[in-house]
Structure 1
Amino acid sequence: MGLFWGSSKGSSYSDQRQAPAASTTGGGDNSDNIISEDLAQYLETRESQLSNREFKALLRRQSANAEASKQAVESSNGVTGEENDFLSMIQAKGPQAGTELSAGETAAQAQVEIPKLPTVISTANSMKKPKEYQNFEFDKYRRENDEKEVVLTNCSEIQHAFYDCLGRQKIWERVTAVARLDSDECTKLADFFMACTEIQKKAFLTFDYATLETVDEMKVASRKVDKVFSNAFHSVDEIRDKEKYMNYTKELRREREDFYAKFNK
């Protein structure tokens, strides 16, 4: 080796710098370990561009991210190994390149936000609240039980009796009644049904049925209107009786006042 260095041309290469101690394996050619003089001088004068403050901040940030990643993995019950690896990779990720900690910023503040997995509580909170379910049920009930529908329901017994009468009545009996301009049973039931719908429409107006706010209020109002009508009238002739009709209006007023007091109207 010494002979080789002594036989070099030009200035003695033994005075020049050799490559840093980078041993070769397998006894390869030593010329691979020799670098140029200008490169060696560059490496000697080259200093790290990372200041002590930045280096310490980097260590704190990496430690905080690693600890947060560990806690997130431990707290995620029932998560598969692949999901744990993916979460660890996201949670341990530091700030983007080019960003530095300010003088008053801590490592915890610089930590990236950790994505949260859905839990039983968070899923329940995101669902509809009881009040929203109540409003849904009320809207559905109002659509299916508007004033017209409720009146037909309350007068359905009279309507059924009228259809049953038509099924039992013979054709010649109806023709004879019309010819005599007389009101037969079926005609009276038809008039009773029509009177029932008209009277109960007005009764629901007195209860302000269209402005009621709960299903319970609507059901109670419907029952009261039907009860007062059924107790007061049993035929169309009773509706035409002025005294019976006056008694009906008085009872309806009492039931309305009781309704208002019960629901603080």
Structure 2
Amino acid sequence: MAVTHADLTPSRRKTDLGSKFGTTLMVVCVLCGLSSFVFCLTAESMKSEVTWVQMALGQGRKVVCLYSGSGRTPFVCSLVSLLLLAIAMGLEHGYLLTAITKTSDSNPGRPPLLVWMSYSSTAKSMKWQALLFFMGTWICFAVGEVILVIGIAVESGHLHGWARARTDCLVMRTGLFAAAGVFGLTAMFIVCALYLTALQAQKLYEIEESVRREILEASNVYASQPQESVAVTVPQDSRSYEADWSMQTCQDHRKPSNST
């Protein structure tokens, strides 16, 4: 059986960036965001409404409010939406944290992506981009979750005895559940953008590590080569000329000086 290049290429772990598990997890997170958005729209369309009426009490009148429904459907929808967003954010950020803090099996000696230090402009822009995506996804997630928690608290206040007249009724304003769904879906898309940024950073990191490794190997090979000695060959004529010149100089020094 023939051995192909794909067989020799080391397989990625599930926790590595760019693996099938990571891609599948991204798709699941986006689906969770879409499902949460649908549940929020359902809660928005089924949320409780309040009707104010006047009731005669003896000789006077009193203004009371009545709920249009028990609020069970928006309560369940908002609760499911909150759980879906929380699960998706926990899985995604847990995966990203694991992926950037661990090394790959194909390069066990390489430091993790989290401690990558590069002074190139591309790497710096990627770091700022990842920071903005990280902050943006948590802001959108926090705003959406707060709105959903408020909706759950409001709708759970009249699950029982909702047809009874009350002097004070709390309801969600129009569009808040839909806004929570938009914030949650935006958080999921920003998480995907953060994943793609981390994947690009890993590719750039691998290229820099490969270039650095090649430079080190080339320098080690050059340092291990023996230095060849350079032999200087002096022509025979020049050596004889130097010998005659030195003997003539010695004879000139030995001659006595003429006295006047």
TM range (shorter): under 0.3
What TM-score comes out, normalization by structure 2 length? 0.21
| Structure with the higher fraction of residues in strand conformation | 2
Q: Which of the pair has the greater relative contact order for Cα pairs under 8 Å at 6+ separation?
A: 2
What TM-score comes out, normalization by structure 1 length? 0.21
